[in-house]
Structure 1
Amino acid sequence: MQAKKRYLLVSAGVCALLLVYAWTLRVAELQTRLSHRPPAGPEPPAPRPYLEGAEQEEDGPLLQHQHTSPRERRDVHKNIYKSRRCRMDTCFDFARCQRAFRVYVYPPARGEAVSESYRKVLAAVDESPYRTRDPAEACLFLLSVDTLDRDQLSPQYVPDVRARIQALPLWNEGRNHLVFNLYSGTWPDYTEDLGFDVGQAMLAKASVDVENFRPRFDVSIPLFSKEHPQKGGERGRLTANGVPPARKYQLVFKGKRYLTGIGSETRNALYHIHNGEDMILLTTCKHGKDWEKHKDGRCDRDNEEYVRFDYQELLHNSTFCLVPRGRRLGSFRFLEALQAACIPVLLSNGWELPFSEVIDWNKAAIIGDERLLLQVPSITRSVDADHILALRQQTQFLWDSYFSSVSKIVLTTLEIIRDRIHTHMSRSRLMWNALPGGLYTLPQFSTEPTLFPFYYGLLGKAPQQEFTAVIQAVSPLQSPLQPILKLIIAVAKSKFCAQIVVLWNCEKPSPPRSKWPPVPVPLTVIQGERKTMSGRFFPHDVIRTDAVLSLDEDSVLSTNEVDFAFIVWRSFPERIVGYPARSHYWDGGKRRWGYTSKWTNEYSMVLTGAAFYHRYYNYLYTHYLPTRLLAMVDELANCEDILMNFLVSAVTKLSPIKVTQKKQYKETMMQQGSKSSRWADPDHFAQRQSCMNAFAGWFGFMPLLHSQLRLDPVLFKDQVSILRKKYRDIERL
């Protein structure tokens, strides 16, 4: 035992001596190199990394290896690997994004040609809340050079892109740059080569192959046509609450058949599952200039069958829609199927699906295998009715949330990148895959789904039992009989009231606390911070309850009315619930939207002069809506309530809820109107009509929905004893 220890100690000592000797030789070698170093001067240019898809120049890295040290060669190989396998932690400068997430678009060169599709992309970025015109504060850079179509045979192909990009002063090998692309490569290979060196830039690319896709760095986007709308877009074909009837066809497809080359295998075999009854798979060879030179024995029969069926009729009357690969992995059929509530059956092996980083496509599509084409009919027939309905509903959610317009596609791309940068504030998969979607759930508010009203039912959470009343005050206190003082007393008596906040937006200073009525709940006066109409929806830190009761200073509500409205809101926490209702209509003669306060059987807005809503909408209103809309509201001193209704309806795809009739609300306001009251202003309704159209223009569609629902207390107006009625004061009013 002792001998073994001695041998170990001797061995360790010998190893230590050898290490010291080697280190001495290394130091001597370095000193020799330093003594022969040439005089100081300009440093030679750094070796240019060889990037995937780039041409090797004569002075490229492979030749430089003959004259470089082993250490420099290792650095070159490291850069090669880095560019090919970029990730956020290796090819992105997070220091640029410490202050905020801002996107800078390079100014276009004089006479620069830009396609209609790329113009829509740039417009979407320009209207986003992240746009900056100062490159010094930019986190992300976007090219003004059109890179969407890199097919050299396309009329939209832009030459000399490589030289123009390399000449950009901030290019820096593509670091912190985002490059959009729809088409890459050309006939006959259709590779993913863009014709220029992307370097360390992120790619937002359609039809991307999983082998070339850099996970959590690139973004896969859908292939969209030049007719795809800039904003808004058409709604999906499936209504929100209707159970869809069984469709005529089980599986359909109508498209080109490629006789040779890439993409021909799957489409040339579709005739095997076409039965002419519930499986309608139609292809045509009749495309291209020389199709007749290559046509096979089935072409004439296929072309005949092809013209017998209308594509739109097939699309909207089938349960499943086949989406096979074309020349490229992606296809226009993908978005067409989503919009039509036709469940996509994807046959495109190796395709990185659009926004797959955040979207769970198993909830909206059937992902097949091109090699198992003959199994597709049995697979679709095995899906039960409940699963079909769930899949179709999810197609509509995804279409409306992320794909119905170019703006939504671009904003989704930016939000995915933003989540990567600010990982501590990134959205969960639930937020991306459930209503209202990632674009409407701002993580700056919270990353906890239970704090958003949309997920209460899904997560089994009930709203809080209390509310905060927020009263907009614009008139000075001159009499103890003023409506605002009566309103404070009535609201404070509610057993659900946690606190009252008065937004003092009057030019005169707020009165001392002794002038306000004594109430059993905390009363806070906020003055001088937000003297604007939009300021009434600012997310003040003092508001801690889920529910906010928004009130005008001259609102007339009883305690019973407040209590009943709050009870109703707790059943519909994602909506606006309140008393004064208004409606919109389409004026065909003037080709514009109109606003009306007439009492009818329908309404589409509940004004925030007396309404409950979730406090998250304060945050969304302030931080999501563009400054130009908020500035318009402030300049007019009007329409902030309409804008809030637009926002909530756009998010929820639902109408607000009116409680009880409250007919005297309008009459009381008119009686109390004065020269300073906006209700007495003859231009009031004209301004509100203009607001409606400006808001609809920004959203790209009309989000307001009509409703005929009105909720009254149980036994309201029934011929029973008043003592049996819980909210008996409402009937007396």
Structure 2
Amino acid sequence: MLRGKYSVFSGKAIIAHATHSKWTYRPTFDVSIPAYNPLYDITPSSSAPVFRDTHILTVLPVANADPATIKQLLLAHRIPTFPGNASVLVLDPVLPQSRSYGTRSASLSISPYDPPSRTIVDYGEALVGSLFCLIIQIPPVGQFALFDSMSAGCIPVIADDNFILPFSEVLDWSKIAIRVRHSELHKIVTTLTSLSSQEIAQFQRQVKFIFNRYFSTIEKIVHTTLDIINDRVFPYYARSYVQWNSPDYMENALPPPPLLFYPPRSSVHGRLTALIRARDHFGLLHQLLLKLQLASSLHRIVVLWTNPRIPIPNPSLWPALRVPLTVLPFSQLLHGRYYPFAQIDTEAVLSLDDSTCLPDLQQIQAGFELWCHNPDRLIGLTNGTIVGSARKLSDEASSLSAVFGLTIFHKHYLHSYAELLSSMAIRPVNQTGACEELLMNWLIIQLSGRPVLTVRDSRLTPVSPASCHLQSSMACWTDLSATHPYFTTILSRGRAFRIAPWTVSSFG
């Protein structure tokens, strides 16, 4: 892991090295690993703010640094876009006479009107209090700098044109660090101050995830190296990009869905079957059927009457529709609404309730086209009324927008719901008499290992929380969170990816 000489070099051995450069690294053969620093063990708290109020930029120890460049960085306060309450800190190498690894001398610039001053700082506190950490010429002095900055939650800014970043074969470093050329160092402060708070938060989240997953211990570094080599030897079982780089990816504890059951991309010219759970709102159901039948991609409507106390209305009371309508009675032998009924003869299933506020028909078509490009994903459709009401709810629950609306998924998941779920998983549904859609969404996220895709209407219309079954869904979510936190934790990790309806056709 450290810099050194090799006694034997035949060119046939895989070299896992911490200071690979573009001249020594052999792509798809060698492995670039992080330099582990056992002396640095300070990690930031999970409640660290997005903008740290100590230093906006800390320059880690530089070997043979250009004095003009260092001076230019210290005078970054002269730039108009520079935050007024932030400072620039340039660290010196560790003091030879110091008995503590954390004691460093540094140059500090805190005001555009005063010259930089010399000071003694604690190395760990300086990094934890920094937003960006500039690393120039990583080997040999800066080989621990990348590890130290990521351990502190500081966003690395790397100015080394030749260095091969650790595990760059599988990790997407464009989401972890900011790379700049040596010739552009004079623009670095302007570049950093132009980043939005959302972009900075995404960088910080990814830095924390990558460090904790792959860099934090010797064991994790060794296991990651072996995983990369294993992916080369067995490419058919190799991890995907999402598995390596996404904090939201979840390991699948259930049997995977058969890949041959559906093609990678379904035909856009196909159709979908609407599966409606009906209770006792026949008036609302009547209006819903009249509006839903106009959807261009609709093939059939299947209504599951789940209220055993109220008989199914007389056939003469049901509306005449342009698509076939099938009404099925409730059965105690089935797990509620999610069952692979023989009447569902399409791959795509549109699931909703009789009290659901139906979104615009163009939004349903957009969701279906999005599903055709992602047949293994859960597609959620929400309208402005649900979004407007959900804003009053907690941040965690409102992020699950696909739970409180319509969903589109593959028919295979109906078989999985009926066959794979144990009695322990079904128990919360039987206890509450609801929550089927929460459990179904949890199952799809588990099987696919990917978060929800959401098609959302940007138009907001005020609505009472008691309508659109929003109140019952939120009550179900609250009860499930208190009694079965495991399910709600999984659903919270499946964050919705929102996409406007008019951009769906751009998926190719």
Q: TM-score, normalised by structure 2?
A: 0.52
Map 1:365-384 → 2, pairs under 5 A: 365=177, 376=182, 378-381=183-186
Measured against aligned partners, the alpha-carbon deviations of 1:56-80 in whole angstroms (never above 9, x if no partner) come to: xxxxxxxxxxxxxxxxxxxxxxxxx
Change (3 A) 1:363 1:308: closer
d(CA) in 2 for partners of 1:220 and 1:357?
Answer: 10
- Specify which of 29, 36, 59 is matched with residue 253 of structure 1: 59
Q: Given that residues 19 and 139 in structure 2 are in contact (C-alpha distance below 8 angstroms), is that contact kept between their aligned partners in structure 1?
A: no
Structure 1 unaligned segments of length 5 or more: list them: 1-183, 194-199, 239-247, 256-266, 369-374, 454-462, 588-592, 596-602, 671-677, 712-733
Partner of 2:406: 611
Map 1:295-444 → 2, pairs under 5 A: 304-307=118-121, 311=126, 315-316=130-131, 320-322=134-136, 324-325=138-139, 329-330=143-144, 331-335=146-150, 340-341=154-155, 343-346=157-160, 349=163, 351=164, 353-361=165-173, 365=177, 376=182, 378-381=183-186, 400=205, 403-404=208-209, 408-409=213-214, 423-424=235-236, 439=249
**SS at 1:332's partner residue?**
helix
Deviation at 1:606, TM superposition (A): 3.5
Q: Given that residues 106 and 120 in structure 2 are in contact (C-alpha distance below 8 angstroms), is that contact kept between their aligned partners in structure 1?
A: no
Whether 1:494 and 2:309 are equivalent positions in the alignment is: no
d(CA) in 2 for partners of 1:504 and 1:420?
Answer: 53
Q: Given that residues 576 and 611 in structure 1 are in contact (C-alpha distance below 8 angstroms), is that contact kept between their aligned partners in structure 2?
A: yes
Q: Given that residues 18 and 35 in structure 2 are in contact (C-alpha distance below 8 angstroms), is that contact kept between their aligned partners in structure 1?
A: yes
Amino acid at match of 2:406: A
Q: Given that residues 419 and 425 in structure 1 are in contact (C-alpha distance below 8 angstroms), is that contact kept between their aligned partners in structure 2?
A: yes
Partner of 1:661: 461
Deviation at 1:687, TM superposition (A): 0.7
Map 1:270-285 → 2, pairs under 5 A: 270=65, 272=67, 273-275=69-71, 276-278=74-76, 280-285=89-94
Partner of 1:471: 275
**SS at 1:356's partner residue?**
coil
**SS at 2:466's partner residue?**
helix
Map 1:61-72 → 2, pairs under 5 A: none
Q: Which one has a bigger Cα radius of gyration?
A: 1
Change (3 A) 1:356 1:254: closer
d(CA) in 2 for partners of 1:669 and 1:501?
Answer: 20
Q: Given that residues 290 and 321 in structure 2 are in contact (C-alpha distance below 8 angstroms), is that contact kept between their aligned partners in structure 1?
A: yes
Change (3 A) 1:234 1:327: farther
Measured against aligned partners, the alpha-carbon deviations of 1:273-292 in whole angstroms (never above 9, x if no partner) come to: 42232375312534787589
Amino acid at match of 2:382: V
Partner of 1:10: none
Deviation at 1:357, TM superposition (A): 1.7
Partner of 1:690: 482
Change (3 A) 1:396 1:505: same
Q: Given that residues 275 and 302 in structure 2 are in contact (C-alpha distance below 8 angstroms), is that contact kept between their aligned partners in structure 1?
A: yes
d(CA) in 2 for partners of 1:533 and 1:216?
Answer: 53
Change (3 A) 1:632 1:334: farther
Partner of 2:111: none
Deviation at 1:551, TM superposition (A): 0.2
d(CA) in 1 for partners of 2:233 and 2:337?
Answer: 30
Change (3 A) 1:215 1:653: same
Change (3 A) 1:396 1:577: same
Change (3 A) 1:666 1:700: closer
Change (3 A) 1:627 1:307: farther
d(CA) in 2 for partners of 1:322 and 1:642?
Answer: 49
**SS at 1:404's partner residue?**
helix
Q: Given that residues 284 and 306 in structure 1 are in contact (C-alpha distance below 8 angstroms), is that contact kept between their aligned partners in structure 2?
A: no
Q: Given that residues 399 and 495 in structure 2 are in contact (C-alpha distance below 8 angstroms), is that contact kept between their aligned partners in structure 1?
A: no
RMSD: 7.0
d(CA) in 2 for partners of 1:321 and 1:418?
Answer: 31
Q: Given that residues 63 and 137 in structure 2 are in contact (C-alpha distance below 8 angstroms), is that contact kept between their aligned partners in structure 1?
A: no
Q: Higher RCO, 1 or 2 (CA under 8 Å, sep at least 6)?
A: 2
d(CA) in 2 for partners of 1:417 and 1:532?
Answer: 44
Partner of 2:355: 555
Q: TM-score, normalised by structure 1?
A: 0.40
Measured against aligned partners, the alpha-carbon deviations of 1:596-650 in whole angstroms (never above 9, x if no partner) come to: xxxxxxx54446463255769979x98xxx99996675465544555749979x9
Change (3 A) 1:357 1:537: farther
Aligned length: 426
Identity rate, percent: 13
Whether 1:577 and 2:386 are equivalent positions in the alignment is: no
Structure 2 unaligned segments of length 5 or more: list them: 8-12, 77-87, 109-116, 215-219, 372-378, 502-508
d(CA) in 2 for partners of 1:402 and 1:530?
Answer: 49
Map 1:620-659 → 2, pairs under 5 A: 634=429, 636=431, 638-639=434-435, 641=437, 644=441, 651=451
Measured against aligned partners, the alpha-carbon deviations of 1:139-172 in whole angstroms (never above 9, x if no partner) come to: xxxxxxxxxxxxxxxxxxxxxxxxxxxxxxxxxx
